[in-house]
């Protein structure tokens, strides 16, 4: 077999050429030969991953810069645009999906979400195990295809991350499970969890390397759906009832073969802190079409159709052992561990994973309480922090904010933000107040004033 002229080039020259290629081109090069595979998947060539941007067709290692208005529009999910994907990690996915729909028609939101899922899953399975050590920046902001388990894997595969942006995602505490104990190396400098509404004190505990009990239901959630695909359904829609008339929906891709057994276990939970009586899952067949969350004018969510094509039995999440049988099984979706301090055990005095942090945004993470900030402050604080955004965190008191801020020796209070109504106000003369005032996309207790 005749060697390609490119194969005569010295490694240094090849690397210089490859360093100008996009991630998609690098992935293609990796399929040429063993030598090209080794070179194209050199960690040095993969400094950043932007799966959401790549799914939108912008294959660049550099971030797409959007103005504030554009970002805000994106963060307001309503009606047809609000659909999220529940990943079945073990399912084989077609990772060859292109950025354009095959019929040339504009993509639906669901197609975009599925493309995100394929790209993220492909990265986790095939690329990050090879290049993860070189990745310093991971931007998953606004992703509707990401799941907590995928974030967990990304964190494990990318030990040298300095920047992590998960803003406006549905991730839960499970994403950071044991991060501070195993994966966190203290290299993280910039962490953005803005509008991650499912994040609780348990995430701060994990980041601080503070272990939770092995009986922690939050960190061992199980969701399961079982049944039969009676009419060749491509997707099933999982609906989670809040017990208040509201419900959330997520799609699970499935095999379209008629008679196919459906069995989804370990689905990523949306919320892990709903009391058991308010957490129920139904699976609704939605046929071959895409589907998304629907809201009526009053903000209530209803599925547009609930065909009986897919006889999936409802289950609940349970604390351990998965779900048996398929009939409703009681269990819990987690009372917040940490309200009871006895359930927590610390892991010594070593600095936590956020020790080197310079930028932290917990904007609108309204489940965070003083307890979470206390854990961070007691584990060495954030001595290098220069920007702290706690706007929209309504469960904090002035005392809790002061616990953490007093450990931030590098923090200029001009870059300290928290709710204007916090009591007692710990830094009335120096802090910058709430960043969410007059911002429609982020939560603020004074919106409508
Ligand atoms: Fe209270 Fe904005 S969250 S003033």
Instruction: Report the alpha-carbon distance of residue 77 to residue 63 in Å, rounded.
Output: 22
Please tell me the predicted confidence (pLDDT) of residue 280.
45
> Among 36-45, 61-70, 75-84, 99-108, where is mean pLDDT lowest?
75-84
Q: Is 418 in the pocket of ligand 1 (CB under 6 A)?
A: no
Contact between residue 407 and residue 383 where contact means Cβ atoms under 8 Å apart:
yes
Per-residue DSSP letter, 192 = E
Distances in Å between the Cα of 21 and the Cα atoms of 126, 375, 408, 427 are 18, 44, 41, 49
Separation between Cα atoms, residue 206 and residue 151, nearest integer Å = 14
> Is 229 touching ligand 1 by the criterion CB < 6 Å?
no
Please list, in sequence order, all residues whose beta carbon lies within 8 angstroms of the beta carbon of residue 280, skipping any fewer than 6 positions away.
Answer: 240, 241, 243, 314, 316, 328
- Give phi and psi for 215, each to the nearest 5: -90, 10
- Residue 173 CA to residue 270 CA, distance in Å, equals 10
Gap from CA of 416 to ligand 1 centroid (Å): 13
Distances (CA, A) of 211 to 42, 131, 142, 204: 35, 29, 29, 11
Atom of ligand 1 nearest to the CA of 418: 3
Q: Say what the pLDDT of residue 339 is.
A: 34
Give 39-68 pLDDT, tens digit per residue. 999 999 999 999 999 998 899 998 876 655
Confidence of residue 133 (pLDDT cuts 50, 70, 90): very high
DSSP characters over 402-433: HHHHTT-TT--GGGEEE-TT-SS-S-TTTS--
* Distance from Cα 282 to the centre of ligand 1, integer Å: 36
Cα separations in angstroms, 426 against 281, 408, 444: 43, 14, 19
- ipTM exceeding the 0.95 mark: yes
Q: Is 392 in the pocket of ligand 1 (CB under 6 A)?
A: yes
d(CA 158, CA 132) in angstroms, rounded, equals 4
- Specify the residue with its C-alpha closest to ligand 1, atom 1: 419
Q: Atom 2 (ligand 1): residue with closest C-alpha?
A: 444
| DSSP conformation letters of 33-62 | -HHHHHHHT-GGG--EE-HHHHHTT---SS
Q: What digits encode the pLDDT tens for the residues 315-364?
A: 443 333 333 333 322 222 222 233 333 333 344 455 567 888 999 999 99
Highest mean pLDDT pick, 102-106, 110-114, 156-160: 156-160
Residues with Cβ within 8 Å of 104's Cβ and at least 6 positions away in sequence, in order, are none
- Residue 395 CA to ligand 1 center (angstroms) comes to 11
Strands 416-418 and 387-390: parallel
Cα torsion 418, 423, 426, 430: sign: positive
Token digits for 333?
Answer: 């979706």
Q: For residue 390, how far is its CA from the centre of ligand 1 (angstroms)?
A: 10
pLDDT of residue 51: 93
CA angle 95-98-103, nearest 5°? 125
Q: How far is the CA of 216 from the centre of ligand 1 (A)?
A: 32
């Amino acid at each position: 077999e005749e060697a390609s002229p490119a194969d005569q080039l010295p490694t240094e020259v090849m690397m210089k050429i490859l360093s100008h290629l996009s991630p998609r081109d690098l992935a293609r090069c990796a399929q040429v030969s063993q030598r090209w595979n080794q070179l194209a998947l050199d960690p040095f060539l993969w400094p950043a991953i932007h799966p959401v941007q790549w799914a939108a067709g912008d294959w660049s290692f550099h971030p797409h810069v959007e103005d504030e208005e554009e970002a805000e529009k994106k963060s307001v999910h309503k009606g047809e645009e609000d659909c999220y994907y529940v990943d079945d990690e073990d399912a084989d996915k077609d990772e060859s999906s292109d950025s354009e729909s095959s019929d040339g028609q504009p993509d639906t939101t669901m197609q975009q979400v599925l493309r995100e899922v394929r790209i993220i899953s492909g990265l986790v399975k095939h690329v990050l195990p090879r290049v993860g050590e070189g990745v310093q920046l991971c931007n998953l902001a606004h992703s509707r295809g990401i799941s907590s388990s995928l974030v967990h894997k990304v964190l494990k595969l990318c030990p040298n991350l300095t920047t992590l942006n998960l803003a406006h995602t549905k991730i839960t505490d499970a994403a950071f499970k044991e991060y501070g104990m195993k994966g966190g190396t203290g290299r993280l400098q910039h962490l953005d969890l803005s509008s991650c509404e499912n994040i609780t004190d348990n995430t701060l505990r994990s980041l601080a390397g503070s272990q939770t009990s092995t009986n922690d239901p939050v960190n061992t959630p199980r969701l399961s759906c079982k049944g039969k695909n009676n009419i060749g359904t491509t997707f099933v829609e999982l609906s989670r009832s809040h017990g208040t008339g509201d419900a959330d929906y997520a799609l699970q891709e499935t095999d379209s073969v008629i008679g196919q057994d459906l069995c989804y276990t370990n689905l990523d939970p949306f919320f892990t802190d709903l009391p058991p009586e308010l957490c129920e899952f139904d699976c609704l067949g939605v046929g071959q079409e895409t589907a998304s969350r629907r809201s009526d004018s009053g903000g209530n969510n209803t599925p547009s159709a609930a065909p009986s094509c897919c006889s999936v039995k409802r289950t609940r999440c349970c604390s351990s052992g998965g779900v048996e049988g398929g009939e409703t099984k009681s269990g819990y979706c987690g009372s917040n561990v940490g309200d009871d301090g006895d359930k927590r055990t610390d892991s010594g005095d070593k600095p936590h994973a956020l020790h080197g942090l310079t930028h932290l945004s917990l904007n609108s993470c309204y489940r965070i309480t003083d307890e979470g900030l206390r854990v961070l402050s007691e584990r060495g604080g954030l001595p290098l922090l220069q920007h702290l955004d706690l706007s929209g965190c309504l469960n904090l008191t002035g005392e809790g904010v002061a616990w953490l801020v007093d450990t931030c020796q590098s923090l200029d209070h001009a870059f300290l933000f928290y709710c204007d109504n916090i009591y007692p106000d710990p830094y009335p003369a120096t802090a910058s107040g709430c960043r969410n005032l007059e911002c429609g996309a982020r939560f603020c207790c004074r919106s409508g004033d």
